[in-house]
Structure 1
Amino acid sequence: MPLVEINFDGIVGPSHNYAGLSPGNLAATRNAGATSHPRAAALQGLAKMRANLALGLTQGILLPHPRPDHRWLAGLATDYADAAPHLKAQALSASAMWAANAATVSPAPDTADERCHLTVANLGTMPHRSHEWPATLAQLELAFADPAFAVHAPVPPPFGDEGAANHMRMTRAHGEPGVEVFVYGEDGGPFPARQHREASEAVARCHGVTNALFVRQSDAAIAAGAFHNDVVAVANERVLFAHEQAFADRDAFYADLRARLPAVEIVEVPANAVSLSDAIASYLFNAQLVTLPDGTMALIVPSEVRATPSAWSWLRQHVAGNGPIRRVEAVDVRESMANGGGPACLRLRVVADPATVDPRFLVDAARLDRIAAVIAAEWPEAIPFDAIGDPALLARIEHARAALLESLDLVGLLDS
C-alpha cells in the first residue's frame, strides 16, 4: 500500500484539569483554577476523529498516561498524599493529550536508511510535561514495532525538544521525499523559548534527514503567546500556511524553501488582516491542514476561529478565491482550547503504510464507539481544581484509564 498520512490523536485523559502550569500558554494560565470537564473534553476529541474519518482520512490514537505519575513523585522522594500542591498538580497533568508534542517524525522518503524515524520529545522546559516521555516511548515502541520504523529515546536535557509542534514537512506528495523544517526559538521576552536549535539538529542527525532547514521562530510570536510554532504556522505537502510574523527572517526562509521545493505555495496571512493576538486567541494556525482523497486541501480549525471576525473573514476570502485551501471545517474542542491546545496540538502526523502500524492504535467508527462508551461510563464529569487531592477522584482516574486499556486490548501499557 502507498504511504499515507495518519493522524494519531491523543485521547484526553480522565485527569484533565486546569492547573495553569504552562507559562507562555495564555489560555492555560488564563483558565487556571477553573473547573474542567474531562468527559466532555475526551468526547470532543473523539468527535474530531469521527469528522476526520468522514473526510476520508486515516485515523489513529495515543492513550492517556498513568496519572498521578507515582514513579515521578517517587523520584522526588515523595508520594501524592505528602507532595506539595504544585507537585500534585504536575503529577496529575493530562497534557500528554497533545500528541503533537509526543515526538518528531521523519517519514521514510526523507531519511538515509529509508525507514520512518520517531524521536520522543523530552519536553524538559515545563516540569509537568518533563515526565511524559517514558510513557510516550512505551506506546510508540509498541505502535511502531515494525522494522519499517525506528523509535528513538529523547534528546538529553538541557536541550529542550517539544516534538512535532515545532516541525513541518513540505513535499509535492506525502510519499515523495520532502524538506523537513525544524523551527526553534531563542528569546520569548517574559516566556521561555521551548525548542532549542541544538535539539532540532540532534533529531535531524539521528533520523538521517537528507534535506533539513533550521528556522528561527520570531521573538515577537513567542512573546505574544506562540509557545510552539504550530500556533503561528502549519504545513501540508506543498502548502505552507503561516502568519506574517511567524519567523524571525521570513524572507530568507521563504527563499531557501522555494529553492529546495519549487512547487511550494506559501499562504501568508498579513498582520494588518489578522493580528498576532487574534491569531493566537483563535488558534487559526493550530489547525489540521490535510489532503482529502480527491487531492484538494481542507483546513480543520477550532470553532473559536468562527468567533474571531478577523480570522474568519480572512479564511472566507481565501476559500472564495483561488488559493490552495479549498475547504474549512470547524470543530468543537473547547475543553482542550481552554487549556491551550487546538486541533493541531491533539494530533501527531505519521506518513507510513497503515499495514505496518499495530492495528490496536488505528480506529474506525466502531472502535471509536467502544472508546466513547468507556469514556461516558468512567471519565469524571467535572474536576474542580480544589478537588485534585481527593483520594476518591484519584482512584476513579486510575480505574478509568485501566478500563480503557482493557477495552482496547492494551493492558500491557498499564504500568507504562
Structure 2
Amino acid sequence: MLPDAVAAMAEAMASTGNASALHSSGRRARRRVEEAREVIAAAVGARPSEVVFTTGGTESDNLAVKGLYWSRQGADARRIRVLVSAVEHHAVVDSAEWLAAHEGAEVELLEVDRYGRVRPETLRAALERDPGSAALVSVMWANNEVGTVNPIRELAAVAHEFDVPFHTDAVQAVGILPVDFAASGVDALTLTGHKLGGPYGAGVLLLGREVAVTPLLHGGGQERDVRSGTLDTPSVIGLATAVELAVADAPRRAGTIGALRDELVARVVAAVPDAVLNGDPGTSAIDGGPSRLPGNAHLSFPGCEGDSLIMLLDAHGIECATGSACTAGVPQPSHVLLAMGADEATARGSLRFSLGHTSTQRDVDSLAGTIGPVVDRARRAGQNAAAHRRPEARGGRTAQPRAVAR
C-alpha cells in the first residue's frame, strides 16, 4: 500500500460509526464516505453517483456480468447472449459460465489476435450474427497476464450500435493508464484497491446513472440499491486515497516502470536467448496510452514448467506468477495464452513479472543475475522427469536409474 493510504486508513480505523446510521458518529462516517466517493469519481472521470463500492474486482465483475444480464434479459427475453473475450479474468468468465449453467444464457467467447487483443471488427461480426439477442459485452481494459491493452472506446461504440451495454474490467488499468469513464463510453467499469496501492478487499463498480443492474445482494439498500451491505469506511477511505495518488502520479510512474520493464525483458532474453515475450510489444498507443501495461513482462521459457521456475526463483527472493494469482496452484495451462494460439507446453512454461511503485533497479539486477541458472536447472529437472515417464522407466527391463536434479 501507498504510505499515505495506510495512514488514512489507520486514522479512520480509530473512529466509530456506521455510515448508514443517523446518529452523529454515523453522519461523520457518511460524510467521509461521500468525500471518498467524490475523490474517486474525479480521478477516473465519473460522477460521484456512478461510484458503487464493493469488496473488490471479483464482486464488481460478478455484479456487472450477472446484474446486467438479469436486467436486460428480464426486460427482453430475447437477450440471452453474453459476449466476453476469450482472455478475460476468471471473475468474468466464470460468472458468464454460471449464467449459462443456471440462467439459460448463451456464452460466446470473442476471439483475440496473437497479442491477446479483441479487435472491433471481431465484436461487430459477433453482434451482427444475431442482432437483438445480446444481453451484454465484457472486455477487459488491459489483460492481467500478458499486459495487452484493448481499444475500449472503439469496442464500446460498436456494442452501443447494437444497443448492448458494455462492461470492462479495468483492474489492471486504473492508476497506470489514462482511464476516463465518461470519455470511454463504457456502461460499467471494475477497479480494485490492491492493484494501485490501496487495501485488499476494497473496490468499485463504476455504473452509468441510466444503466439498470439487478443486485446480487439484498438487505439495506446501500449503494443505489445495487449493492447492499454495511460499508467498510476505513477501507473506502484508504481506497480513495490510493486512487487519487496513483492516478495523479501515473504519467511519471508509467515512464519509470516502463523503462525498468524494457530493461528486464532485454536482460532476461540476453540470459535466456530462446525466451519469448508474450503480448503486445508496447510500441504503439491505444486510447491515449501505451498498448501494453508498463509494469508487465510476460515471457515463455521453452522446456520449463512455470511452477518449477516460480519455486526456484522464490528461493532467491524473486516473486512472480504463472498467471492470475486467483488461479495459482491450479494445474492448468493459461487460458489466455491458449486463446492467443500458444500450445500447452508454451502456456505451462511461462511467467509473469510485475513491476509497481516499489520496484527498483536492484530488483531487475537480481532477476537478470538469477534467471539463467534457474532456467537451466528447471530444464534439467524437466528432462529427468520426462525420462522417468517413458514406458521403459516404468518397470521395463531396460530401465536405467537416472539422477533427479534437486
TM-score (norm 2): 0.25
Structure richer in strand, relative to its length:
1
TM-score (norm 1): 0.25
Query: Which fold has the larger relative contact order, with Cα–Cα distance below 8 Å and residues 6 or more apart in sequence?
Result: 1
